[in-house]
Chain A
Amino acid sequence: MKKEDFKAAGREIMMSVPRITVTGNSGLYIENHKGIEVYTRELIRLSTSEGSVSIEGHDLNIDAVRVSDIFISGIIGKIEFEF
């Protein structure tokens, strides 16, 4: 592995950059979030080290939440970054 690749791979670990995993349009898993800013059935906005992440959709639900990761289910329409 090149030095640049190693740096890129470890960035989210070293700098707590959010990592987002989307499953179809029905599930979303975010690591390294810093807290919930807004939660409604249509919008969830999370705070991260690099700004906010907004998830828009319908029937949004927080299935599980821990201090650094969160699992959101529902019908996801849009994911927006505000840096």
Chain B
Amino acid sequence: MLNKFFNFLKGYVIIEISGQNPERFINICLRRGIRLSSVERRGGAMITRIYIRDLRHAADVRRKTKVRIHILKKRGVKNFIKRYKKRVLFAVCAALAAAAVYQSSRHIWTVEINGVKDADITRIAQLLEENGIYTGASKSKLLPIGDIKNNILADYPEISWLWVYMEGTKARVEVFERRAHHEIVDKHIPCDIVSSGEGVIKKLTVKAGRPAVAAGDAVTYGDTLISGQIDANGAEGTNKRLLVHALGEVSAYTMHSAEKDEPLYDEIRTPTGAVKRYITLEIFGKKYDLFRGMAEDYADYDIKTDCYELTLPMFGYTGLSVTSQKHIEVQPEREPVSEELAAARARDALEEEIAKTLTPLARRTDERLEYKKVSDDIIRVKCTMSFIENIGTEEIIKE
């Protein structure tokens, strides 16, 4: 690539060498320091590239070797200028286009936010806008990215990390959401350990505080498991209440269940071959539809969207993109599925749902899957899983 660029700067011609002995012509050229590249045999002739400055020297060799040289193409900056110097309007338009591209490259034309699952993407976009990241914003007036990150994290604590990558005229924002976790209470603050769910106590290990339940007790959400309030006898026989930071582990048998409806069929969508394509052009953040309204001609169709962004080397995204939306007509057909298979499919989804409600290091001990038909083609699947998990969580004692 770089070689081609320098060749273009220096200027070269593509020549055809024909005659009795073109090999001899090439050998003499090489010995005289005339550079040749991409030597190609085409029929009885040879095609090669030679710098314009070497062409005069090659003419001497041509006379000596009695070959014929025919110039096929001229390439290079000088040739380009020579060809277009009389076309003033073209030059002006080219200069204006170059200036427009340069000017557009100094702005943000697309903001792409990635990594958002549960957070409010509209709120993030609004915070980005408040910090200068929006379509049409000037890149030169941007705050340092570290400051943008700190400002947004301070305003939106649900996200744990964020960074803005500038890719040409595109601002790519990578977001990492904060995962829910138990609030850690400082060890000097008195607290109880309370239940974070329902279960039956299996084992209680108390390191500090007073046990409030025993093995075999059933507990529900918010019950005190280890109390941070200790009754102590005073020196003169008086009762005194001490507040400590309760410490310990409480493992309990817990049960979690979830249910969902699952179809008793697989839908096979076979394309009929009919496709409608809708093209949208995006120029510096503004979208232009190259069609008049989307016709809903098909009873059933799938949508396939492809986006082609124009990016240039050493420049990045230019702010120009084409989005092609294909409406592919399909013929849906239903293949029946057994109740067992449908239940097994639902189980995977239900397991994922239950996993979100578990405490860390929960160990599964049992599992039950039940299902019943609610209509001809739907079953309701209920998954119940038993665990042993640490259900204790710290809660500050309020005076």
Contacts and interface: CB of A to CB of B under 8 A. Distances in A.
Contacts of A60: 41
A37 B37 CA distance: 17
Q: Which of A39, A41, A60 has the most B CB atoms < 10 Å from its CB? A: A39
A54 to B, nearest CB: 14
Interface in B10-58: 22-23, 26-27, 30-31, 33, 35-41, 46
A66 interface: yes
Given A39-B41, A40-B41, A65 B36 contact: yes
A61 interface: yes
Interface residues of B, number: 15
A62 B33 contact: no
A36 B40 contact: no
A63 B35 contact: no
Contacts of B27: 35-36
Contacts of B41: 39-41, 60-61
A8 interface: no
Nearest to B3: A64
Interface residues of A, number: 15
A70 to B, nearest CB: 9
Contacts of A67: 30-31, 33
B23 A63 contact: no
B30 A39 contact: no
Given A37-B23, A39-B23, A62 B30 contact: no
A39 B35 contact: no
A61 B39 contact: yes
A4 B35 CA distance: 38
Contact of A39 (B31, B33, B38, B46): B46
B23 A38 contact: yes
Interface in A16-55: 35-41
Given A35-B30, A39-B46, A67-B30, A61 B23 contact: no
B30 A65 contact: yes
B50 to A, nearest CB: 11
A62 B31 contact: no
Contacts of B35: 66
Nearest to A72: B39
Contacts of A36: 23, 26-27
B30 A63 contact: no
Contact of B37 (A35, A38, A41, A63): A63
A66 B46 contact: no
Nearest to A64: B37
B23 A62 contact: no
22 contacts: A35-B27, A36-B23, A37-B23, A39-B22, A39-B23, A39-B26, A39-B46, A41-B41, A61-B38, A62-B38, A62-B39, A62-B40, A63-B37, A63-B38, A64-B38, A65-B30, A65-B36, A65-B37, A65-B39, A66-B30, A67-B30, A67-B31
Given A35-B31, A62-B40, A65-B39, 4 more contacts: A64-B37, A65-B36, A66-B35, A67-B30
Interface of A: 35-41, 60-67
